[in-house]
Structure 1
Amino acid sequence: MKLMSIAAVASILVLLACAPWCVYSQERFLVRMTLVRNAPALGAFCLDGSLPAYHLHRGFDNGANNWILYFEGGGWCGDIKQCLGRAKTGLGSTNHMNKWAIFSGILSNNASLNPDFYNWNRVRLRYCDGASFAGDGKFANGTSLLYFRGQKIWEAIILDLLPQGLANAHMALLAGCSAGGLATFLHCDNFTRMLPNASVKCLSDAGFLLDERDVSLNHTIRSIFEDIVSLQGVEQNLDHKCTKSMNHPKLCFFPHYALKYITTPFFVLNSAYDVVQFHRFLVPSSADVEGKWKNCKHDPAACSADQIAILQGFRRDMLEALNFFLKDSKSGGTFINSCFAHCQSDAQESWFAVDSPRIRNKTIAETVGDWYFTRGEAKEIDCEYPCDTNCHTLTPVHQVPDCAKCGSVGNKTLTSKAGSHDRIWSKYSPILVVLLLP
């Protein structure tokens, strides 16, 4: 009996010691989808013609008049074949999406897991256009029909939310991850103009994409982005100050070039070794036909000295591209860590947990909160890999199930069996990000 009592007490002490973080892996706070019924009046449709959508969880107490709008990520499509395929999935049609979305990390309603924003109105904007909510066009050839209406989707969602309290917002934060992080750069100042009486700021997570040559010196990402801009009619919606200043206006789709023209206070959250940029743009399969990077992509510890040097060069280029922002922006914030990761704001493990990534012992959530509420210094830059000892990286995913029926939530996938296809996180593990790109 004494042994049992000791064991019971020990169990309770463990639970108390890890609370609240030991709870987050088991709890799944789900919010139901809302279709934008008036979207057709604006010509706002997903790729397949279905209605756009969002998920809203109401704020409460002193957060009742504050708002977070969060763009989902999920890659892009830059040719008709890609977009037709995408239109048959949850990344191109609300008909194929799961009708419930996980709200975690920056969208959590738990004060212990999201101390600064838990009681705000939190909105997840569903991504179904394939051009970071920025296109405005249509494709029709008598057989197939595709709507490239990301810009109108953005406008339709805003118009739907304004009478629900967004128009009376005191504070607002526009945020997003990956392709949604890129959308934050594209729509930040526009969002500020829509809320003239609110204190508005913007945050991009894993969206600071560089106009960088790949390891074979080809412009892989530039070619992809130019195709997206051309196909989906994005150029007309890019920042005009940027497009007028560039010899190639389409390049203003890159946050790399757009950031200097944004006047709204901005926060850049990114890994210096962002795995999507590493795997898909810096070392695309076309530049590694012999598979020399295979082991390095699977596990950074397996990278050769020459490969590490290339990755360190990519990190230096990212910091150089941010140099003006770090020096000149008094209202800006950064958290550039050295984790091989992608999207860290909507995952509880990386946003705010007992073993979350830290720089100078500050979590991402604490740094973002300090920046938003001007509580102190919020420009954090990590040292080079492999110095960081508290990273979370993605475990390998060699096969992605056909989830046309279960849909997708950001970089996560929901099925009827909770978590079976969810994004899996593991400390110090190898990585592989699946992104819907050519």
Structure 2
Amino acid sequence: MKNARNAILSGCSAGGLAAILHCDRFRSLLPASARVKCVSDAGYFIHGTDISGGSRIESFFGQVVRTHGSAKNLPASCTSKMRPELCFFPQYVAQTMRTPLFVINSAYDSWQIKNILAPTAVDSKKEWKNCKLDLKKCSATQLQTVQNYRTQFLKAVNIGLGTSSRGLWINSCYAHCQSGSVSTWLADKSPVVGNTKMGKAVGDWFYDRSAFEKIDCPYPCNPTCVSVDSES
């Protein structure tokens, strides 16, 4: 890699989280003259509140850290300030990142709605089952709770990504992982944010042609979401 001129560390879901956690370390392996940036798709898992008022995701991340001995591999810039399990949340790690980061995510990420907002453990009566399968099946009260989660998500993004080198492509589709398919990346019917497909947004940002920081309007405003599978 000593002759590298351009490099991207990217991933989707857990891979998108890893791209954030290891971004600066990846940068350190490459020549100082190289253009090095990171792209996280559906990896911006937030330290959110669930429908019970608690945070099951914090407990889950704590179990992951202890089981795998992950603390030693998390960014010291974060673990020196807070508990290791909190350093699994991008909103705390991204604050101290030195390497440019582009975040592709839905503000209504289907994995997060199912596992952070309304995990089965706090929905014993399965009142959220249909809503989690299809937002069109949510009650008015449930949909308002989902909209409130969007507010939590956007706040976490703004807390974590406060530098001019960031890129944002945040849509309102009920989806998880959108960059791994040609149909959603840069095809004729790919979803758009600010009239821009994610492939063009990332390319222009990476090559310094133009910045891109766009956040979609609230669900269900984006008609281009019809091309996105919620389990993609």
| TM-score (normalised: structure 2) | 0.94
Letter in structure 2 aligned against 1:316: T
Deviation string 1:321-380 (CA, Å, 9 cap, x unpaired) is 122455x41111000000000111111111111111101211000111111112123001
Deviation string 1:388-431 (CA, Å, 9 cap, x unpaired) is 1001333xxxxxxxxxxxxxxxxxxxxxxxxxxxxxxxxxxxx4
Tell me the equivalent position of 1:52.
Answer: none
Tell me the equivalent position of 1:253.
Answer: 88
**Preserved CA contact (<8 Å) 1:325 1:332:** no
Over 3 Å counting, the alpha-carbon distance change for 1:199 and 1:174 in structure 2 is: same
Tell me the equivalent position of 1:81.
Answer: none
**Preserved CA contact (<8 Å) 1:171 1:199:** yes
**Preserved CA contact (<8 Å) 1:297 1:432:** no
| Residue 390 (structure 1) aligned to one of 221, 224, 227 | 224
Deviation string 1:125-176 (CA, Å, 9 cap, x unpaired) is xxxxxxxxxxxxxxxxxxxxxxxxxxxxxxxxxxxxxxxxx33110101000
| Residue 298 (structure 1) aligned to one of 117, 130, 133 | 133
**Which moved further from structure 2: 250-259 or 182-191?**
250-259
Where does structure 2 lack aligned partners over 5 or more consecutive residues?
A: none
- The structure 1 segments of at least 4 consecutive aligned residues displaced by more than 6 Å after TM superposition are none
How far, CA to CA, are the matches of 2:228 and 2:21 in structure 1? 27
| Residue 379 (structure 1) aligned to one of 198, 208, 213 | 213
- Tell me the secondary structure at the aligned position of residue 213 of structure 1: coil
Letter in structure 2 aligned against 1:352: L
More helix by share: 2
Within a 5 Å distance, the mapping from 1:132-281 to structure 2 comes to 166-197=1-32, 198-246=34-82, 248-281=83-116
Letter in structure 2 aligned against 1:229: V
| Residue 356 (structure 1) aligned to one of 182, 190, 203 | 190
- Tell me the secondary structure at the aligned position of residue 201 of structure 1: strand
Letter in structure 1 aligned against 2:65: V
Letter in structure 1 aligned against 2:54: N
Letter in structure 1 aligned against 2:80: K
Where does structure 1 lack aligned partners over 5 or more consecutive residues?
A: 1-165, 395-430, 434-438
- Deviation of 1:213 after TM superposition, in Å, equals 2.0
- Deviation of 1:301 after TM superposition, in Å, equals 1.1
Specify the structure having the higher radius of gyration (Cα): 1
Question: How many residues in Structure 1 have an aligned counterpart in Structure 2?
Answer: 230
Kindly indicate whether structure 1 or structure 2 has the higher relative contact order, using CA contacts under 8 Å at least 6 residues apart: 2
- Tell me the secondary structure at the aligned position of residue 390 of structure 1: helix
**Preserved CA contact (<8 Å) 2:23 2:38:** yes
Letter in structure 2 aligned against 1:223: S
How far, CA to CA, are the matches of 1:214 and 1:321 in structure 2? 15
Identity %: 45
Deviation string 1:90-136 (CA, Å, 9 cap, x unpaired) is xxxxxxxxxxxxxxxxxxxxxxxxxxxxxxxxxxxxxxxxxxxxxxx
